Amino acid sequence: MQQRELIISNYVKAYNNFDVEDMLKNLAPSVKFQNISNGDVDMELDGIAAFRSQAEQATELFERREQIIRSFKHTGNKTEIAIDYNAILAADLPNGLKKGDELNLKGHSIFTFDGDKIVGIMDIS
């Protein structure tokens, strides 16, 4: 479990630092990603190439972003983290949010592992 916590902590640190290469370091080639917002799946990605493309695009949307891990919960091959999220937008978004707007969210992410590789990530806010 400590290894999973280290892998997830490194992933979150890379996310906060806009370091896409480090985000990808422990992802399986077949990684599946889902973002769920207000109960609706608003993004699904299949495979590391799609994940990389989205992660690179997302770096352009934020002036600053930070996820803070509040807790870890391990169940079988899954680890769930509770997070606080804070970001400042660097661009206007289609949903009406504007450049300079601050986002403050609480959510959680579920990481699914196969050995020491992340095969699934579900972000829920």
9 has pLDDT over 90: yes
Residue given tokens 């973002």 in the structure block: 35
CATH code for the domain in which residue 59 is found: 3.10.450.50
Looking at residue 125, what is its pLDDT? 86
Q: What is the mean pLDDT of residues 61-90?
A: 97
55 has pLDDT over 90: yes
Looking at residue 4, what is its pLDDT? 97
Residue type, 12: V
Helices (H) and strands (E) in the chain, counts: 3, 6
CA-nearest of 94, 23, 89, 96 to 61 is 89
Q: Where does the pLDDT of residue 38 fall: very low under 50, low under 70, confident under 90, or very high at 90 and above? A: confident
Domain that holds residue 28: 2-124
State the sign of the Cα–Cα–Cα–Cα dihedral 90, 106, 41, 45: positive
89 has pLDDT over 90: yes
Q: Say how many domains are in the chain.
A: 1
Q: Where does the pLDDT of residue 94 fall: very low under 50, low under 70, confident under 90, or very high at 90 and above? A: confident
Residue 23, strand partner residues: none
